[in-house]
Every structure is written in structure tokens, then in C-alpha cells.
Amino acid sequence: MTFTPTAIRRAFDLDLALTAIAFKRRAAYKTQWLVGSLIGGTELLTSLALWSAVLAERGEVGGYDWDAMRTYYVLAFITATITFAGTEGLTAQRILDGMVAIDLLKPVDFQRARAAEYTGGVLGNLPTLGVGLTVSVLFLAPLPPVSFTAGALALLSVVLGVPLSFGLMFLSTMLCFWTRSYHGIMWSRRTITAFFSGLMVPLALMPAGLQAVVGWLPFVHIATTPSNIYLGRVDTAGALGLVALEAAWCVALWFIGRVLWNRAIKVVTVHGG
């Protein structure tokens, strides 16, 4: 393959096409958009009501005062909107009803195609994110980043959260090759992700032993890493280290996904033709 601009663009034509389709699909379902905003908004407001009540009495918990906690949850809202982009149902359904047999016939890399669709889904979530962010900034006055570098690195961490979340989602979808229903797997993954990423409660509040273990899992980079960098709880060197670790997890999850996929298609049972 020659590396002309046209050739490079053509190599990604399929990815762009799938991304565009997934984006349009997401954008077409306006009710889902509204529901997503309302649910995310409710979670944010409930967390804020809780911590407002607690911090009014105590002033500070786990190194977070009210300003920092408010900012933490606004950032958590942003990362949650990106993480739970919701294209997994389609993939899972295709495995469960056997349509994946057709996908196996297509000259398309399954994982790469799903990644493109996931990206489209995330982009489709951007309006929700935009509205939520505007409302949050206007009414909740989150803190600005401690420095420009911190802000830029935090943004990079959030962007890397997209392939990271995809990796986790893809792995959990693989389990559909071995079970008959996806709901339980999806709930478990969302629960584990929400808890170990810090979306439910800041990791700094967990016992030290648990924090040490959780820090090595991929989930932490979804919410805790960006907010730690943003709020200046780690210095620039620490921030770069965390982002590097996050990038390493993205790559690792991609390859683990490929290995699992190659095993899964050998065991797939498709009922009927």
C-alpha cells in the first residue's frame, strides 16, 4: 500500500462509514437522548445533594472540600456520559440471535468495526454532554483546572477513556458466546465499572489497601485519573505516568479482546439457519 493521502483515507473509509451510521442511529433516537440526560442529571444532582449535606457538617472528606467534590462529580458526569455510550446491546443481540454468523462472513475485522460503531455512539452522546456541561457550569460553578497542562492532560485522559471503555465493553460482550442473555452481564459490568472507577464514590475515600489494588485495574482511569489530574492531586510527572498507564491498558484490552474473539468464534452455537 502506498502512503498517499487518498490511500490513507480509503483505509479508514469503512471505519468512518460505521461511525457515521452509529452516530446517526444514536442521534435519531431523541427519546434516548432525553432519557440519558435526565438519568445522568439525576445521578449528578443526587450525589451533589448527598455531599452537600455531608460537607456542610464536616467541611472536608478524603481531601475534597465542597468545591473540589462538586467539580469531581461534574467530571464524573462527563466521563460517565462517554463511558456508557450504549452500543453494546446491538453487538450482544447479534451474538445472541446468531446474526453474528453473517458478521463472520463479512471481510471486516469484527472488533475494529465494533470500535468504529462505539465511537459513533460516543459522538452521538455529545449533545447530551454539551447540554449537561453547560447547565453544570452555569449552575454548579465547578473549579477550573489547576493549570493549563493539568487541563490538557485531563482532557487527554478523558479522550483515552473512549478506547478504554470500548475495550471493557467488548470483553464483556464476548461473554455472550457462553451465555444466553446479556442483561446480567451488562448490569454486572456497569456496576463494577461504576464502583471501581470512582463514579460512585471518590476512590480516595476507600481504605488504603483497596485503593492500592484498585489503582492497578483499568477502571480507575475512567473517572479518577482525569479528575486527579484536573484537581492537581497529582503533579505533572504523576499525571504523565497515569496517562501512559491508561494508554497501556487501552492497548492491552484491545489485544485481550482479539484473543478472546478468536477463541469465541470457535465455540459459537448458532441456532438454525
CB atoms within 10 A of CB 164: 26
- Residue 12 or 187 with smaller CB distance to other proteins: 187
Shortest CB 210 distance to other proteins, Å: 8
Asked whether the beta carbons of 44 and 73 are under 8 A apart, the reply is yes
CB burial of residue 247 (10 Å; 0-12, 13-18, 19+): middle
- Residue 116 or 185 with smaller CB distance to other proteins: 185
Shortest CB 39 distance to other proteins, Å: 5
Shortest CB 175 distance to other proteins, Å: 8
Q: Phi, psi at residue 84, to the nearest 5°?
A: -95, 60
Shortest CB 257 distance to other proteins, Å: 20
Q: Please give the Cα distance from 56 to 52 (Å, whole number).
A: 6
Contact footprint for other proteins (CB under 8 A): 31-32, 35, 38-39, 42-43, 46, 49-50, 52-54, 57-58, 61-62, 178-181, 183-185, 187-188, 191-192, 194-195, 200-201, 205-207
- Residue 9 or 58 with smaller CB distance to other proteins: 58
Asked whether the beta carbons of 196 and 168 are under 8 A apart, the reply is no
- Residue 147 or 191 with smaller CB distance to other proteins: 191
Closest CA to 242 of 148, 147, 165, 153: 153
